[in-house]
Structure 1
Amino acid sequence: MPDLQPLAAHHADALLHFERENREWFARSVPDRGDDYFTGFAARHAALLAEQATGTCRFHLLVDDDGTVLGRFNLVDVAAGEAELGYRVAERAAGRGLATEGVRRTCALARDAYGLRRLTAATTLDNAASLAVLRRTGFTPVGPVSLDGRPGLRHVRHLTADD
């Protein structure tokens, strides 16, 4: 199983490659990041590291033995024991259970390392794979949401010691 690592400065090149290589794949189910994301990537990466240092976000990469980034698993808006989970997995890694395992491991980190008690996550209704991952990892649908004008579903998961 690939290693789930906290985002670090040395990940910049591999992360940029991951985002570029999978841009079209991601745009099928989530809004495209836009060209500015890629042209200003170095500054954006530094800003993410600075934000992570404050504890308001926790960014993680699923990294293969050769250093290839296979996925991102992020906890954002960390406050009062809660956070929003976001994730994306490379097209070449899809269908292998890596999203499910990455979400499970991120939930365990959220509970055990960061002291969080509740996570929320949302996905579009047409993203069947992501909906399945959330359900397999203990998230419960709680209501509709609009994601950049697309109908979606918000989920919640309570993190308990017996998970």
Structure 2
Amino acid sequence: MSIYIALLQEQDAVNLFQFECENRTFFEKMVPSRGKDYYHFKYFRMRHSELLKEQDDNTSFFYLIKNNLDDIVGRINLVDIDKNKRKAHLGYRVGESFTRKGIADKAVKLLLQEAPKLNIREIHAKTTSNNIASQKVLEKNCFKQTFINDEEEIEFNGQKLKLIRYIWN
């Protein structure tokens, strides 16, 4: 599937809200919930505006992953940007009906091409020990595993999981 990434815009709010609502159950199997308020459009719209402000301030960059029909198939972000150290943290999610199509891999590749234009030379990422798909995406895109703390566990959906940290530069 052909994809591209597009910087988040104000006019994306309605379609992004629909994407998030359609994929809520799927996402919450892998990452903590954004909370029930997030799925009320008034609150979502406010949160969307906050993200756009972060983007205007160059402290985060939020991208939509879109297919050739301009449908939103996922999201990919660079957040917590440290301008002095030229580093950021990566996050991404792909909608349930678009998984297992190489979309996350392609989106990460596209974002890594954008990083130098944003003056970012180092990107950190983390995933859980049970998220093999995400580990493969990061490793395929030249992220190096840096740390697994056997003592640092999180409990999520009744499972104790370790966090695996990665770095790209």
> Paired residue for 1:103?
108
Report if the CA contact (8 A) 1:2-1:63 is conserved.
Answer: yes
Report if the CA contact (8 A) 1:78-1:84 is conserved.
Answer: yes
Q: Scaled by the length of structure 1, what TM-score is found?
A: 0.91
Report if the CA contact (8 A) 1:29-1:126 is conserved.
Answer: no
Identity of aligned residues (%): 34
Structure 1: segments with no counterpart, 5+ residues:
159-163
Bigger-Rg structure (1/2): 2
Q: Scaled by the length of structure 2, what TM-score is found?
A: 0.88
Separation of aligned partners in 1, 2:135 and 2:3: 22
Does residue 82 (structure 1) correspond to residue 83 (structure 2)? The answer is no
Separation of aligned partners in 1, 2:72 and 2:107: 12
Report if the CA contact (8 A) 1:14-1:67 is conserved.
Answer: no
Report the secondary structure of 2:118's partner residue.
coil
Runs of 4+ in 1 over 6 A off after TM superposition: none
Report if the CA contact (8 A) 2:3-2:107 is conserved.
Answer: no
Report if the CA contact (8 A) 1:123-1:147 is conserved.
Answer: no
Instruction: State the one-letter code of the partner of 2:57.
Output: T
CA 1:147–1:53 in structure 2 vs 1: closer, same or farther (change >3 Å)? Answer: farther
> Paired residue for 1:130?
134
Structure 2: segments with no counterpart, 5+ residues:
156-160
Per the TM alignment, residue 4 of structure 1 is displaced from its structure 2 partner at its CA by: 0.7
